[in-house]
Chains A and B, each alone.
Chain A
Amino acid sequence: MKIRGAVTWLGDDINTDVLHPSRFFSLDQLTVRDGLQGMDGPGGSVDRIIIAGRNFGYGSSRETTIQSLTLNRVRAVIATSISRIFWRNAINAGLCVVELPDPRPLNGYDELIITLPGAAISTPDGKELASGSPLDLYDLSLLESGGILPWMEKGEPLVQEPS
Chain B
Amino acid sequence: MTLTRSAEILEQHRVSGKAPIGDHIAVQPDLFLMPEYAISLIEAGLDALGGPTVSPRRILAAADHFAPPATIERAEILSRVEQIIDRYGWTGVYRRFDGICHQLLLEDERLTTGSLVVGADSHTVTAGAKGAWAAGFGSHDLLYGLVRGYMWIAAGPAVAIVIHGSFSASDVFGKDIILECFRILGANGFHRRSIEFFDHTDNGLTLDQRATICNMVVDGGAANGLFVPESYEPNSTAYEQFTRIDLGNLVPKLACPGSPFGINDVDEFVGTSITQAYLGSCNSGRLEDFAVAARIVRGRTVHPGVKAIAIPSSRSEYLKALDAGHIRDLLAAGFVIGHPSCGPCGGIDKGILGSGDICIATMNRNFQGRMGSKDASIWLANPAVVAEAAITGRISRPAAIQDQ
The reply to whether A22 and B144 form a contact with Cβ atoms under 8 Å apart is: no
Interface size class of A (residues with CB under 8 A): 35 or more
Give A125-153 interface residues, CB cut-off 8 Å to B.
Answer: 136-141, 147-149, 152
Residues of B within 8 Å of A54, CB to CB, are: 187
Query: B36: shortest Cβ distance to chain A, in Å?
Result: 11
The reply to whether A60 and B259 form a contact with Cβ atoms under 8 Å apart is: no
**CB-based nearest A residue for B370:** A17
**Which of B22, B138, B144 gathers the greatest number of chain A CB atoms within 10 Å?**
B138
Residues of B within 8 Å of A152, CB to CB, are: 49, 144, 147
Residues of A within 8 Å of B139, CB to CB, are: 61, 63
Q: Which residues of A contact B (CB under 8 A)?
A: 13, 15, 17-18, 21-23, 25-28, 54-55, 58-64, 66, 81, 83-85, 88-89, 92-93, 136-141, 147-149, 152, 158
Residues of B within 8 Å of A26, CB to CB, are: 73
Top 9 A-B pairs, shortest CB-CB distance: A137-B22, A136-B22, A89-B138, A138-B24, A138-B21, A17-B367, A92-B140, A61-B122, A138-B22
Q: Is B347 an interface residue (CB 8 A)?
A: yes
The reply to whether B219 and A136 form a contact with Cβ atoms under 8 Å apart is: no
**CB-based nearest A residue for B373:** A21
Q: Is B183 an interface residue (CB 8 A)?
A: no
Query: A11: shortest Cβ distance to chain B, in Å?
Result: 12
**Which of A58, A83, A93, A158 gathers the greatest number of chain B CB atoms within 10 Å?**
A58
Docked Cα-Cα span, A26 to B223, in Å, equals 26
Query: A35: shortest Cβ distance to chain B, in Å?
Result: 12
Query: A104: shortest Cβ distance to chain B, in Å?
Result: 17
The reply to whether B367 and A92 form a contact with Cβ atoms under 8 Å apart is: no
Query: A132: shortest Cβ distance to chain B, in Å?
Result: 16
Residues of B within 8 Å of A18, CB to CB, are: 367-369, 374
**Contact A158-B21, Cβ < 8 Å, known A23-B347, A58-B221, A84-B192:** yes
**Contact A15-B367, Cβ < 8 Å, known A61-B137, A81-B191, A84-B192:** yes
**CB-based nearest B residue for A54:** B187
Residues of A within 8 Å of B199, CB to CB, are: none
The reply to whether A59 and B141 form a contact with Cβ atoms under 8 Å apart is: no
**Which of B21, B188, B219 gathers the greatest number of chain A CB atoms within 10 Å?**
B21
Q: Is B136 an interface residue (CB 8 A)?
A: yes
The reply to whether B23 and A136 form a contact with Cβ atoms under 8 Å apart is: yes
Give B192-234 interface residues, CB cut-off 8 Å to A.
Answer: 192, 218-219, 221, 223
Q: Is B40 an interface residue (CB 8 A)?
A: yes
Give B244-289 interface residues, CB cut-off 8 Å to A.
Answer: 258-259
Residues of B within 8 Å of A60, CB to CB, are: 122, 346
Residues of A within 8 Å of B369, CB to CB, are: 17-18, 21
Residues of B within 8 Å of A63, CB to CB, are: 38, 41, 138-140
Docked Cα-Cα span, A13 to B140, in Å, equals 25
Q: Is B77 an interface residue (CB 8 A)?
A: yes
Per a CB cutoff under 8 Å, which of B22, B137, B191, B365 touches A85?
B137
